[in-house]
Amino acid sequence: VYEVHEIVVQKVGHVPVAKGDFNHLPKKVKTFVAHCVQLCQPRGIFICDGSQEEAEEIIHKLLERGTLTRLTKYKNNYLCRTDPADVARVESKTFIVTKNKYDSVPHVREGVTGILGAWMSPEDTKVELDHRFPGCMAGRMMYIIPFSMGPVGSPLSKIGVQVTDSNYVLLCMRTMTRVGPKVWEVLGDGSFVKCVHSLGCPRPVQRRVINHWPCNPEKVMITHFPEERKIKSFGSGYGGNSLLGKKCFALRIASVIARDEGWMAEHMLIMSVTTPEGKEHFLAAAFPSACGKTNLAMLNPSLPGFKIQCVGDDIAWMRFDDKGVLRGINPEAGFFGVAPGTNMKTNPNAMLSFQCNSIFTNVAETADGGYFWEGLEDEIPKGIGIIDWLGNPWHPGCPRKAAHPNSRFTAPASQCPIIHPKWEDPEGVPISAIIFGGRRPVGVPLVFEAKSWAHGVMTGACVKSEATAAAEHQGKNIMHDPMAMRPFMGYNFGHYLQHWLDLEKPTRKMPKIFHVNWFRVDQKGKFLWPGYGENIRVLDWIIRRCEGDSSIAEETPIGYLPKKGTIDLSGLDSINEEELFSLPKHYWLDDTRESKRFLEDQVGIDTPPQIIKLLNEQEEAFSKY
C-alpha cells in the first residue's frame, strides 16, 4: 500500500513513481535512474525496499500472471518454467568493453579464437546497445533494486543498484543479494556498480511470449564496462545473465576492482572443516560451473568426528589483512544451485535449505505439489504423476529429462542447516587452503598439492573440465577453464595471473594450493572414487598438509601426492588406489605440452614468464619420469 499522492506527484520525466520516494535517493542514484528511465521508457518506477510485504506483492503478481506456480507441498516455495530458449548463461553474447582491447583480453595467436573473455569496442557496443535499449521497457515496470554484495556496511562489501523490468529477477535478487533501504544509507554519496537489465520485450510484444516468460533470445547481449563499473544486460531473464550481482558484478566487475585494490574476486566456495581434535580450517575451492561446488560446500562427512560448515557455495572475495592472513567473504546471500543430482544422499544440507522460501526454475513437478528432478526418483511417492520442466506429462524411464540439466534452486543461505555462524562476519574468515578442480576422467589423480604459491597459480591456470550444462556448450569435450574463471574473466587473463603471482609477499601467510579430481574413471568408464560425503577423506589429508605434516606426501613432477596409505580409506572397499593416484607419463607429457600450447595460443605475450618456466620444468621432469 503506498501513499496516493506519491503516485500522482512523483514523476521522473513523464514516468510515474509507483512505489518509493525518488527524491530521497542518493544523488548519484537519481541521476542513474533518470538516465535509465529516459533510455528504457518504462510505464512506472518501483523503488524496492526489500520488505516482506514487497516480496508478497511481487509473488502475487507472478502467480496471477502464471510465471510462478505455488509448490503446495512446502511453505512459500515456487516453480518457474522459463521460455525453453532461455535456460543458461549465453557466453557467446557476453562482452567486456574497454577502450584498449588488451585491457580486457590477452593477445591471442593469430587465427585462434580467444576463449578467455570477449572484447567489444565502445563504438561497436554503442551501436549494438542502441539497437536494443531505447524504449525496451515500454509498458513494463522498472524496478530499482539497491543491493549489497557482502554484509551491508562491511569493509569487504560493495554496493550495486540494478534496474530491471523483470519481477522474477527482483525476487531472485532479494534472495541472492542483500536488498533494502539500509543500502542507500551506507551508500550515501559513494559510488556503486550500475546494473541495467531488460528482458528486451517492450509492450506491445513483437515476439510470442512462451510460458509467461518474456525474453528476447535472438538479441541477448551482456556487456560489462569495467572502467565505468557498469553492466548492461539485454534479452535474457535467466541466472547469470540477469541476476547481475552474481557473475557480472561479483566476478567480472569485481575482479577488476580487486586488481586495482589488491584483492581477489574468485569463482570459489568457502567452507570450514573442523577435525575430530576440534581444530577448524577454512578452505576456498574453485570448480567450473556445475562440477559440484555446492555439494562440496555443504558436504556431509562420512568420517566420524568431522564437522563441515558452509560460508558460501559459488563466489569468494578475499583480501590479505594487516597480519598477512587471507580473509574471505561470501558476497552472496543465497544459493543458485544446480537441482539435478541433488537429493538426501548427495546433498542433504542443500535439500534442507530449500524446504521453504525458495524458487525452483525449470524443474519438474509432482502431482502432490512437490519438485522433481533427476536424482529424486527414490524420494517421491511411488507412481506419482509428474509434469516435466516443459509442462508435459513425464514418467520414470521416459527418454526425455524431467528437469532441464541446468535447472536451479534459489534458496536463502541463512536456511542452510550448516551455515557457518561467521558467514556474515564483516571481517571474513581466514583461508588456509585454495583448492582447484574439474571433471577429469583420465590421468589426473584424486588430489595433489602445488609445490609453492607460484606453482599453484600455474596449476590453477591449467584447470580443465568436461563441459556441463551451465552454459550453452554441447557435448562432453574437455575444455580449458583456468582458475574456473574462463566464463567470468573481467580483464586480460595474463594480467590476472600476474596479479595472483604478485599477491605473494614475505609478510603474508600464503594459503597452500591443491588440485582435486573426484571424476577419474577406470578402463570401463566407472568412477574410481565415490565422491560426495567421502570427499572428507581428501579434505582430511589437505588439512593435515596445512598443519605441516610432511610425512604424508611425496614429491612428483606435478606436486606433492599422498604417500600410499595416507588417505584414510577405512570402511571403503575396493578403492583402486594404484589407479586413482597414477601419473601416466605419456598422458602428462602430452597434457603439459597441451597446456603450454593453450597459454601460448590464448594468452600469448601476456602470459607471466614464471608460469611458462614452471610448465617447462614440469615437461622436463616428465620426460625423465
When CB distances are held under 5 to 8 angstroms depending on the partner's kind, the choice from Mn ion, ligand SAT, none that residue 360 binds is none
User: Minimum CB separation from ligand SAT for residue 256, in Å?
Assistant: 18
CA distance 160 to 156: 14
> Which residues are within 8 A (CB) of 218 and not within 5 positions of it... i.e. 6 or more apart?
235
Q: Which phi and psi angles does 252 have, rounded to 5°?
A: -70, -50
When CB distances are held under 5 to 8 angstroms depending on the partner's kind, the choice from ligand SAT, Mn ion, none that residue 336 binds is ligand SAT
Contact 189, 205 (CB under 8 A): no
User: Minimum CB separation from ligand SAT for residue 465, in Å?
Assistant: 12
Terminal alpha carbon distance of the chain: 74
User: Minimum CB separation from ligand SAT for residue 336, in Å?
Assistant: 5
| CA separation, residue 246 to residues 37, 256, 313, 328, 566 (Å) | 24, 15, 12, 16, 39
When CB distances are held under 5 to 8 angstroms depending on the partner's kind, the choice from ligand SAT, Mn ion, none that residue 224 binds is none
All three cell numbers of 128, joined, read 549494438
**Among residues 132 and 247, whose Cβ is nearest to ligand SAT?**
247
Q: Does 410 bind Mn ion (CB under 5 A)?
A: no
**Among residues 247 and 499, whose Cβ is nearest to ligand SAT?**
247
User: Minimum CB separation from ligand SAT for residue 463, in Å?
Assistant: 15
With CB under 5 A, what is the number of residues at the site for Mn ion? 2
Chain residue whose CB lies nearest ligand SAT? 240
Contact 432, 546 (CB under 8 A): yes
Residue 291 a catalytic site member: yes
C-beta contacts of 52-58 below 8 A and 24+ residues apart: 55/171, 55/174, 58/167, 58/170, 58/171
CA distance 95 to 20: 33
Q: How would you classify the pairing of strands 264-266 and 316-320?
A: antiparallel
Piece in contact with Mn ion (CB under 5 A), picked from 204-212, 308-316, 384-392, 509-517: 308-316
**Among residues 114 and 240, whose Cβ is nearest to ligand SAT?**
240
CA distance 345 to 376: 10
**Among residues 312 and 375, whose Cβ is nearest to Mn ion?**
312
User: Minimum CB separation from ligand SAT for residue 544, in Å?
Assistant: 31
Q: Which of 86, 91, 314, 481 binds Mn ion (CB under 5 A)?
A: 314
**Among residues 294 and 556, whose Cβ is nearest to Mn ion?**
294
Residues at the interface with ligand SAT (CB under 6 A): 89, 239-240, 246-247, 289, 336, 470
Say which of 291, 416, 462, 546 is annotated catalytic.
291
User: Minimum CB separation from ligand SAT for residue 242, in Å?
Assistant: 9
When CB distances are held under 5 to 8 angstroms depending on the partner's kind, the choice from Mn ion, ligand SAT, none that residue 440 binds is none
**Among residues 289 and 468, whose Cβ is nearest to Mn ion?**
289
All three cell numbers of 46, joined, read 518501483
Helix (H, G, I), strand (E, B) or coil at 79: strand
User: Minimum CB separation from ligand SAT for residue 315, in Å?
Assistant: 9
**Among residues 240 and 334, whose Cβ is nearest to ligand SAT?**
240
CA distance 275 to 230: 43
Helix (H, G, I), strand (E, B) or coil at 551: helix
Q: Which of 82, 125, 167, 289 binds Mn ion (CB under 5 A)?
A: 289
Name the DSSP letter for residue 116: S
> Which residues are within 8 A (CB) of 236 and not within 5 positions of it... i.e. 6 or more apart?
86, 90, 199, 215, 216, 217, 220, 222, 242
Name the DSSP letter for residue 151: S
* Planar angle of CA 195, 199, 14, nearest 5 degrees: 75
CA distance 506 to 509: 8
Piece in contact with Mn ion (CB under 5 A), picked from 66-74, 310-318, 431-439, 454-462: 310-318
**Among residues 266 and 534, whose Cβ is nearest to ligand SAT?**
266
User: Minimum CB separation from ligand SAT for residue 389, in Å?
Assistant: 16
User: Minimum CB separation from Mn ion for residue 289, in Å?
Assistant: 4
Piece in contact with Mn ion (CB under 5 A), picked from 28-36, 198-206, 309-317, 540-548: 309-317
All three cell numbers of 251, joined, read 566476478
**Among residues 349 and 468, whose Cβ is nearest to ligand SAT?**
468
When CB distances are held under 5 to 8 angstroms depending on the partner's kind, the choice from Mn ion, ligand SAT, none that residue 240 binds is ligand SAT
Helix (H) or strand (E) holding 556: strand 553-556
Q: Which amino acid, one-letter code, is at 219?
A: K
Q: Strand pairing partners for 119?
A: 96
All three cell numbers of 453, joined, read 604459491
What are the b/e assignments for 107-124, b being 16+ CB within 10 Å?
A: bbeeeeebbbbbbbeeee
Positions annotated as catalytic residues are 291
Residues contributing to the site for Mn ion (CB under 5 A)? 289, 314
